[in-house]
A and B are shown apart, each in its own frame.
Chain A
Amino acid sequence: MWEYTEKTKDHFLNPRNVGEIKDPDGIGEVGSLACGDALKLTFKLDENRSRIADAKFQTFGCASAIASSSALTEMLKGITLEEAEKITNEDIADYLGGLPKEKMHCSVMGRDALEKAITYYRGESEKKIEGEIVCECFGVTDLEIKRAVTENGLKTVEEVTDYVKAGGGCGKCHENIQAIIDQQIGGIQILPRMKKKELTNIQKIKLIEETLTREIQPALAKDGGDIELIDVDGDKVTVKLRGTCATCSKSQITLKNYVETKLRELVSDSLEVQEVN
């Protein structure tokens, strides 16, 4: 069960401002049935058109989505558009006394709806989806991910999923999300994997040795195992498994599926690994 604050529970069980304002000044719709949550936010300005006189919401979603929407409408009443523009997803979560991290995307949904509603009021044409789609399952773009990373100081793919849902489906985009995070944090450019070069024999042996020491040994060591390079004859790599690997009944699986795959990936596609008799 989620750890919801009393305030979140209260806004869920007794939501404020449910409904739709007739002839609203601002309308913002985000989400979809398929995604599991959606919010339609409407607001009306006062006579001087300086402050938000009323705000209402309709939400399909879980308790925290409903509570976030309810909180947002309460926050909006009586403030100016300039003040409204400054509301962040963090503000919505704070208003509720915090949200479980897996539920932060509910507060992001509120902020997104608010932005759309303000854009609508200003008569600006709704911004087209900017940037490139990174997560196809939830239709999240690189710009949205960058924004969430920068604004909330996110460091892991999991956190990005919590905030903007990206990566919460099939998981194929995790590498790309990680690359965006790395880029935002350190300004590091991820280079596409270098094409494998043709290697001379000496280079090949050296690279195999390096890969074994740097990649494979540490991984095997976690299970108390070790590996030793015995010989390289053309594409035939002969190794000896030691430690727990030597007596493990799965050693053949380890050899073929881990060691060989890794060596093929990092050294040469045509390598074959065998164990010394």
Chain B
Amino acid sequence: MAVIYADNNATTKIAPSVLDEMMPYLTEYYGNPSSMHTFGGQVGKKILEARTRIASLLNATPEEILFTSCGTESDSTAIRAAIMSNPSKKHIVTTRVEHPAVKNLCEKLAKEGFRITYVPVDQNGALDLDFLYQNLTEDTAIVSIMWANNETGVIFPVEEIASVVKDKGIAFHTDAVQAVGKIPIDLKKTGIDMLSLSGHKLHAPKGIGALYIRKGTKFSPFLIGGHQEKGRRGGTENVASIIGLGAAAKLSQELMEKENTDVKKLRDTLEKGLLAKIEHSFVNGATEKRLPNTTSIAFEYVEGEAILLMLDEFGICASSGSACTSGSLEPSHVLRAMGVPFTAAHGTIRFSLSTYNTMDEINLIIEKLPNIIRTLRNMSPFWKGNQ
């Protein structure tokens, strides 16, 4: 059975061109970039090329790019660095809808004695900026706000926020794991101090990430070891994956327009098609300022895991905000923060597309899903009063 992959916010396919660039560095060129011989040195050059490509995607300089093992490591490094280099400051500002990489770290830091302010969102998923600005204090060590939400695709005005935060002399970090490669980013224009990105969200392999650190930003390493990454992150480089990430950055720069036209069109077609064919369904979050590839749709009176497993029978891969899929008993913290009723949050499905999706696939989802929802609703004791 052919797989219809519509779960690209979870992970993406490694682009064939990315893998092609990586392969020689998994086989022939196994040298250590730190070595003094040419055999290793040539690997170092390739790493610099990757660094330059990522810098180009973000409009940053190569020296400002630090390679890490994943988005989570980038987030932890950034937030810990800000705390370590401002030891007197004990306050962190973040949002109620962050990825667990930031959310759970902040909860841990709260136990270590930090005061955490969680900025709320409205029902469209938009941040309460007044609340955010009112809560910036002299004690604030860092503000960490995601660029785009992984579940709803809602984009936050991080550039605007960064400039306000910077004016107050506070460090600003953004988890841009979902934004990088999907929407244009120009870091020269912003006051963002640190930005996290992850390889496997943009067609590079899993296990590679990067952290942008604006030149002049106070920093303290998370992983202590050798002189790699100019002492900012010890540990021998994940060479092939770094090269893969560089290739993926170049590719996503080339595909950026396609992402915002073709992929967006696929997403819009899918969304309109499903909403038209399935009653009692709605989109979670603002539909305007949103990633072009993401839609989060609530189907009332049904449960998300059941929908996903029935989609799986047709090879369709998506994800859900339902409690049952995660092993927890409460639905997604993002949907709850937005005030989406539990009844709808349990039946929320996220489709996240990529340039690999086709209109035929979208049409197949539109064809299959209404029947699935009907089957499950007919099984549900709550449904009959609402037909």
Q: Residues of A at under 8 Å CB distance from B?
A: 2, 9, 12-13, 15, 18, 29, 33-40, 58-63, 65-66, 102-103, 137-138, 161, 165, 168-169, 249-250, 252-253, 256-257
Residues A60 and B329 in contact, CB atoms below 8 Å apart: no
With known contacts A63-B305, A66-B306, A40–B381 Cβ distance under 8 A: yes
Distance to closest chain A CB from B313 (angstroms): 7
> Does B378 interact with chain A (Cβ within 8 Å)?
yes
Count chain B CB atoms within 10 A of each CB in A61, A65, A161 and give the residue with the most: A61
B313, closest chain A residue (CB): A13
Task: Give the chain A neighbours of B327 by CB distance below 8 A.
Answer: 102
Contact B113 A62 (CB under 8 A): no
Residue of B nearest to A61 (CB): B303
Contact residues in B for A137 (Cβ distance below 8 Å): 329-330
Across the interface, do B379 and A58 meet the contact criterion of CB distance under 8 Å?
A: yes
Contact at A39–B381, with CB atoms within 8 Å?
A: yes
Q: Is the CB of B382 within 8 A of A165?
A: no
Chain B, residues 66-91, CB within 8 Å of chain A (1/0): the string is 00000000000000000010010000
A62 to B331, CA, bound (A): 13
**Cα–Cα, bound, A252→B113 (Å):** 10
List B contacts of A66 (CB < 8 A).
Answer: 306, 379
Q: Contact string, B306-340, partner A, CB cutoff 8 A, digits 1/0?
A: 10011001000000001111011111000000000
Given A13-B313, A36-B323, does the pair A63, B330 have CB atoms closer than 8 Å?
no
- Give CA–CA (A65, B303) in the complex, Å: 10
Of B220, B305, B322, B342, which contacts A34 at CB under 8 A? Answer: B342
Residues of A within 8 A of B214 (CB): none
Select from chain A the residue with minimum beta-carbon distance to B111: A257
Decide: A33 near B342, CB < 8 A? Known: A60-B302, A60-B381: yes
> B350 on the interface (CB 8 Å rule)?
no
CB distance from B386 to the nearest CB of A (A): 11
Chain A residues whose C-beta falls within 8 Å of the C-beta of B330 in the assembled complex: 137, 168-169
Known: A34-B343, A38-B382, A66-B379. A12 touches B112 (CB 8 A): no
- A160 CB to closest chain B CB (Å) equals 12
Chain A residues whose C-beta falls within 8 Å of the C-beta of B342 in the assembled complex: 33-36
B301 at the interface (CB under 8 A from A): yes
Instruction: Answer whether residue B17 sits at the interface, using C-beta atoms and an 8 A cutoff.
Output: no
Band of interface residues on B: 20 to 34
A105-B113 Cα distance, complex, nearest whole Å: 36
Residue in chain B with minimal CB distance to A261: B113
In the assembled complex, the CB of A1 is this many whole angstroms from the nearest CB of chain B, namely 8
A62, B329: Cβ atoms closer than 8 Å: no
CA A63 to CA B303, docked complex, whole Å: 9
A-B contact count (CB 8 A): 87
Knowing A59-B380, A62-B305, A62-B306, the reply to whether A33 touches B112 (Cβ < 8 A) is: no
**Cα A165 to Cα B322 with chains together (Å):** 15
B325: min CB distance to chain A, Å: 8
CB distance from B218 to the nearest CB of A (A): 13
A113 CB to closest chain B CB (Å) equals: 10
CA distance A12 to B324 in the complex (A): 15
What would 5 more interface pairs be, CB under 8 Å, given A36-B346, A61-B306, A65-B306? A12-B306, A59-B379, A60-B302, A102-B327, A137-B330
Select which of B87, B309, B346, B381 is within 8 A of A29 by beta carbon.
B381
A-B residue pairs in contact (CB < 8 Å), sample of 16: A2-B305, A12-B309, A13-B309, A15-B379, A36-B342, A37-B303, A38-B381, A58-B380, A59-B379, A59-B380, A60-B379, A61-B324, A62-B305, A66-B306, A168-B330, A257-B112
Contacts of A37 in B (CB 8 A): 303, 324
Whether the pair A60, B378 counts as a contact (CB closer than 8 A) is: no
Residues in A with CB closer than 8 Å to B329 are: 36, 137-138, 161, 165, 168-169
List CB contacts (< 8 Å) of B347-387 with chain A: 378-382
B382 to chain A: which residues have CB within 8 Å? 33, 38, 60
List of A residues within 8 angstroms of B313 by Cβ: 13
Q: Is the CB of A249 within 8 A of B381?
A: no
List of A residues within 8 angstroms of B220 by Cβ: 249
Smallest beta-carbon distance A123→chain B, Å: 23
Residues of B within 8 A of A161 (CB): 329
Cα of A161 to Cα of B330 in the assembled complex, Å: 12
The 7 closest A-B pairs by CB, nearest first: A168-B329, A257-B113, A62-B324, A62-B305, A58-B381, A40-B381, A60-B380
A residues near B301, Cβ cutoff 8 Å:
33, 60
B379 close to A18 (CB less than 8 A): yes
Residues of A within 8 A of B306 (CB): 12, 61-63, 65-66
**B112 in contact with A253 (CB, 8 Å):** yes
Q: Which residues of A contact B305 (CB under 8 A)?
A: 2, 62-63
**Which residues of chain A have C-beta atoms less than 8 A from B379's C-beta?**
15, 18, 58-60, 66
- Inter-chain contacts of A36 with B (CB < 8 A): 303, 322-324, 329, 331, 342, 346
| Neighbouring A residues of B302 by C-beta, 8 Å | 60
Cα-based distance from A62 to B305 in the complex (angstroms): 5
